Amino acid sequence: MLILPTSDARLEPYRLTGTPLTPRAPKVPLTRTAFAAAHVVSDPLRERNPWDSRPAVDWEATLGFRQQLWDQGLGLAEAMDTAQRGMGVDWPTALDLIQRTMRAARTHPLKPRVASGAGTDHKPLAELAGPDAILAAYVDQAEAIEATGSQLILMASRAFTAIDAASATYRRVYRHLIDGAAQPVILHWLGDMFDPALSGYWGTTDVADASDFVLSLIAENPAQVDGIKISLLDQAHEEAFRARLPAGVRLYTGDDFNYAPLIEGDGTRHSHALLGIFAAIAPAASQALEALALGDSQTYHRLFAPTVPLSREIFRAPTRFYKAGIAFLAWLNGHQSHFVMPAGFQSSRDITHYAQVFRLADAAGLLSRPDLAEARMTTLLSLHGIDQS
């Protein structure tokens, strides 16, 4: 039994009650494409300055985490904001990560899909003062990623909003990137709840106008757009948007609050997944998607239902701090030996948050090694002065 803090500054006893889900490969092909966005594991023994722009990476643990996602039938969205791009992880580290991941993916028996984020973060914003400079920065990263064989995700760039770019600037840059890509790309619409610096993306703060613009961009060459990831945490908007997509262009939900109904769909249309939370709930996600493929809606909802409160806690405001919850669960489940993150990001959440994540992960059957999870939670509680004796 543990003594856990509550949000109203009390301490209360807690006993593990969940039945852990056993990670396994799906028994049938999935009917939804599902990318999990995975984090980067630091190497604290080699870290000399935790706020440096180039972290020391534990490559064995980082790639091992990806292997277990692939073992469960999930694809991988690599070097995204979940991996702290621009928030502790620089472009050289991201490219190294993509190269290592692609080498590992080629030898994996399930031949998993990998799509990787191309952005402009290797250049300071002061050097990205116009469309030509922004495009050149994107091309630098896109060409390096395509050389690895990975599909491109065109990440949202802060460079556009930093210069208050009009829609014509977005069109000029994105038109070149989409049309020139080696494989159909995945577009990336990240709301300002995930990154406040992206407010006004696509040249407007009006979501309806932004939607019209993006849809026109896709319609100009739909064969070169695999899909678009939307992370606005607005189920109604996503459903309306996907109904307007050209045939064959996927909607990849990035809605970590409403993914269950969006992925299931309305009987006519459905969303696929490109989600940070899938890295934390992989056994439930994989087995729920398997149930959906088998037409078993009851099991699908039974598996996903308890993960939703967990996801809402991990992604609660300030939403951009969700990465700490992803790494915390990886530590509890033995995927890494420590709870240290690039740029010291583990300090972005407080102990009451981690205690609630612990409770909710237990309820969802997502503490795969309960004894280890309890021992590690005890250590964290002790560091916060919460005695368990």
Q: Give domain status of residue 157, yes or no.
A: yes
Which domain covers residue 137, as residue numbers?
A: 23-345
The answer to whether 275 and 36 have CB atoms below 8 angstroms apart is yes
Query: Taking residues 313-339, what's their average pLDDT?
Result: 97
Per-residue confidence (pLDDT) for residue 254, from 0 to 100: 97
Q: Give domain status of residue 256, yes or no.
A: yes
What predicted TM-score, i.e. pTM, was given to this entire model? 0.96
**Number of structural domains found in the chain:** 1
Which DSSP helix (H) or strand (E) runs through 98? helix 91-107
Q: Give domain status of residue 315, yes or no.
A: yes
CATH at 97: 3.20.20.70
Per-residue confidence (pLDDT) for residue 52, from 0 to 100: 64
Q: Give domain status of residue 365, yes or no.
A: no
Query: Taking residues 194-205, what's their average pLDDT?
Result: 96
Report residue 337 as tokens: 């030996």
The answer to whether 256 and 263 have CB atoms below 8 angstroms apart is no
Give per-residue pLDDT as tens, 98-116. Answer: 999 999 999 999 999 999 9
User: Taking the alpha carbons of 55, 61, 65, 66 in that order, is the dihedral positive or negative?
Assistant: positive
**Residue 91: closest CA among 61, 116, 59:** 116
Give per-residue pLDDT as tens, 317-327. Answer: 999 999 999 99
Q: Give domain status of residue 371, yes or no.
A: no
Q: Give domain status of residue 387, yes or no.
A: no
Q: Which residues contact 362 (CB under 8 A, 6 or more apart)?
A: 16, 17, 18, 370, 373
Query: Does the pLDDT value for residue 290 go beyond 80?
Result: yes
Per-residue confidence (pLDDT) for residue 51, from 0 to 100: 66
Query: Taking residues 185-195, what's their average pLDDT?
Result: 95
What gap in Å lies between CA 187 and CA 322, rounded to an integer? 22
- Provide the pLDDT confidence category of residue 53 given band limits of 50, 70 and 90: low
By the 10 Å C-beta count (0-12 exposed, 13-18 middle, 19+ buried), 141 is classed as buried
Query: Taking residues 194-215, what's their average pLDDT?
Result: 97
Q: Give domain status of residue 362, yes or no.
A: no
User: Taking the alpha carbons of 21, 104, 230, 271 in that order, is the dihedral positive or negative?
Assistant: negative
The answer to whether 155 and 85 have CB atoms below 8 angstroms apart is yes
Per-residue confidence (pLDDT) for residue 317, from 0 to 100: 95
What gap in Å lies between CA 136 and CA 149, rounded to an integer? 20
What gap in Å lies between CA 158 and CA 153, rounded to an integer? 15
Query: Does the pLDDT value for residue 54 go beyond 90?
Result: no
Q: Give domain status of residue 354, yes or no.
A: no
Over the chain, what is the mean pLDDT? 96
Query: Taking residues 247-266, what's their average pLDDT?
Result: 97
